[in-house]
A = this chain, B = another copy of it.
Amino acid sequence: MTSSTLLFSPVETDLQLLTDNLKQLVGARHPILYAAAEHLFSVHGKRVRPAIVLLISRTTMPNQEITPKHRRLAEITEMIHTASLVHDDVVDESELRRGSPTVHSLFNNRIAVLAGDFLFAQSSWYLANLDNLEVVKLLSKVIMDLAEGEIQQGLNRFDTGMSINAYLEKSYYKTASLVANSSKAAGLLSGVSAELAEDLYSYGQNLGLAFQIVDDILDFTGSTETLGKPAASDLKSGNLTAPTLYTLEETPYLETLIEREFAQEGDLEQAITLIKESSAIERSRELAAYHAKLAVEHISKFPDCDSRKALIELSDYVLSRLY
């Protein structure tokens, strides 16, 4: 398995700078948040979202240095993502994320709500100071979509009537909106045409969807160690994803297990077996591959360079996580 870190080599220095800035920003001013900041920006160390923003910035500024605004956009992207993770963990009462204790379990709800609010507030403020109304609108929409996604996920728990389209919509809100809108925003800061800006949006949207679908497959096929949380924890909490929805089409009995919310001994284990034995994992993989391929088509319209290469490899990498 390729490490995502290697893929990001064209922007490795940029990412180091970004991590230092983020820790500084949140931690230095507020001792109360210092520990939370250290924890947040070290643990969630993959920095996929700002890496995409930086790679797109470099792809769309082929012969020039990227600007401070591009860097600030990458920081904003990571701040919004982190803020939403911290609040999601309070809402979902999660104890672990990627194998590390969550902020609200390590500190408490009080610090977690404050830290999330502070990050959202700081990102709104930085956003306004990019002095670009279109970019402000794109990223404000992301903040709306994240709230919408979290609410929809709450509403649709254990809803076996959910369609694959509703699942994709939820995944868009939760994951793809941020990647799509920040990719487009990076292009706008570089001054690309409206048409190319849409290609960047579509790249981010499809990559984000592929990423979420693969995550949802790994929830079934991964081990507790690689996931950093118990397997099938989405299913257990009633968050139905592609593998479950496809299985429901071919194995109606799964509906019974889900609708009684796995109340009887062995229900959850039986559901997991049904899903793994069906063709649902393969169909989900095909769905992810379809979106990854679309992502590549859109980014291929840009001139070749190291950063564009990395963006293309990233969509292969997303799928490679399954093997």
Contacts and interface: CB of A to CB of B under 8 A. Distances in A.
A125 interface: yes
Interface in A118-133: 118, 120-122, 124-125, 127-129, 131, 133
Contacts of A121: 140, 143-144, 146-148
B117 A147 contact: yes
> Of A121, A127, A131, A146, which is in contact with the most chain B CB atoms at under 10 Å from its CB?
A121
A4 interface: no
B124 A87 contact: no
A118 B154 CA distance: 13
Interface stretch (A64-72, A106-114, A242-250): A106-114
A129 B155 CA distance: 28
Q: Interface of chain A, helix or strand or loop or mixed?
A: helix
Give the copy number. 2
A32 B154 contact: yes
Nearest to A134: B128
Interface residues of A, number: 38
A150 B117 contact: yes
Contacts of A91: 109-110, 113-114
Contacts of A141: 125
A117 B129 CA distance: 22
A192 interface: no
A155 B114 contact: no
A117 B112 CA distance: 13
A319 to B, nearest CB: 32
B147 A118 contact: yes
Interface in A140-188: 140-141, 143-144, 146-148, 150-151, 154-155
A93 B108 CA distance: 12
A155 B31 contact: yes
A257 interface: no
Given A30-B155, A114-B147, A125-B137, 14 more contacts: A30-B151, A91-B109, A91-B113, A113-B113, A114-B151, A116-B117, A118-B148, A120-B143, A121-B148, A124-B143, A125-B140, A131-B133, A133-B136, A136-B136
18 contacts: A33-B151, A90-B109, A113-B113, A114-B147, A118-B147, A118-B148, A120-B147, A121-B140, A121-B143, A121-B147, A122-B144, A124-B124, A124-B144, A125-B140, A125-B143, A128-B140, A131-B133, A133-B133
